[in-house]
Structure 1
């Protein structure tokens, strides 16, 4: 980063970058995936990542960084979906995973899952999302949150129990 360039770490600069690029990058991802909520989630995560890496991304390259990071995040999600589908086919080969009925059931289940996660108490939700979405280890989560690993384990256990209570009847495996 050169001396003349503004720092992305400055709140005003970061806010301006967000206001300038958020909609366009969201549209870009939306055109790729066809799901506005998914596109918004991906782009919000990209901006969170940008904030965390603000010291390493130069102002002149921020637009390219945003598009590349959003595209990579989208591709990672697609790859994860393929792996899940491949696993599901091994577990239950008699189900047509591409039928409209199955896809509708999965859509309904995902909505119930999102709602169930949103209903978790804040501490348990934070631990669950850091573990399952961000793929952080318990020790990394403990470091991020400032509590011990045992507390993280208890929070995760509570989160999983609550999710199982809410979703138990909908879980097939």
Structure 2
């Protein structure tokens, strides 16, 4: 039945968008962070899908938007590297929070970032999809095109690495 579905049909396109937009956003956010604006990238990827709807089959639509958005993110990262060479951003150096709280928060955040950096990309993506988004192991497996057992293993090993790095979690 899916062979007859055309991506150019507005209701089919809407169902593709509704099915994959949130997962695509979360995937981009976990893989690249929020500084490259995953919201805009998701929207642009779906615009490109719409513009190429006659060439993209219904079965390939998910892969198309994921690949297009990944390529856009990589291009943006390259662009930002060039921009950073020519510009230095000075961060805000004041706040209204308690200095002790700020210090503890920064220390914990650094530990968490360090722990996440020790994970492989595959572990980090699976872990964040599970723990932050509450995705089930089978959903993660489907999103990443892996088996449920592989998804479980990635999450389990990631959690153990993070626990070893951040003693406050033990």
**Structure with larger RCO (C-alpha < 8 A, sep 6+):** 2
Q: TM-score, normalised by structure 2?
A: 0.49
Q: TM-score, normalised by structure 1?
A: 0.48
